[in-house]
Amino acid sequence: MAVIAIMMSIILRIDWMEWLFILLAIFGVIALEFVNSAIERVVDLVTEDYHELAKQAKDIAAAAVFVYSCLSVIIGLIIFLPKLIAYFLP
C-alpha cells in the first residue's frame, strides 16, 4: 500500500504538506509494526506458557498498529479523494 500511495502522490502531484502527511502515515505504520513485533518477541521470550496478560500485551500492540493504519487510510482519503475526483471528472 505504501508503494501505491507514493505512486499516486507522484502522479497526482501532491504538495509538500500533503507529502509530509503521507510519509508520516507510511512510516508511522512501519514503526508501530516494529514495536508490535518487538513486544511479541519479548512476550515469547519471557513465557512459553499461555498467560492472559501476555495475550493482552500482544493484542494491544496489534490494536495500536490497526488504529494507526485506520488513521493512515483516512489521511489518504482526505488527500487523494478530491484529487482523484478532479482527475477523472474534469
- What is the total count of domains within the chain? 1
Question: Is residue 41's pLDDT more than 80?
Answer: yes
User: In this structure, what CATH number is given to the domain that contains residue 54?
Assistant: 1.10.287.3610
Q: Is the dihedral of CA 40, 41, 44, 47 positive or negative?
A: negative
pLDDT of res. 63: 98
pLDDT band for 90, please (50, 70, 90 cuts).
Answer: confident
Q: Is the dihedral of CA 11, 3, 78, 21 positive or negative?
A: negative
Question: Is residue 49's pLDDT more than 90?
Answer: no
Cut 0.85: pTM above it: yes
Active-site annotation holder among 33, 40, 48, 52: 33
Catalytic residue at 48?
no
Q: Domain range for residue 49?
A: 2-88
Give per-residue pLDDT as tens, 2-25.
999 999 999 999 999 999 999 999
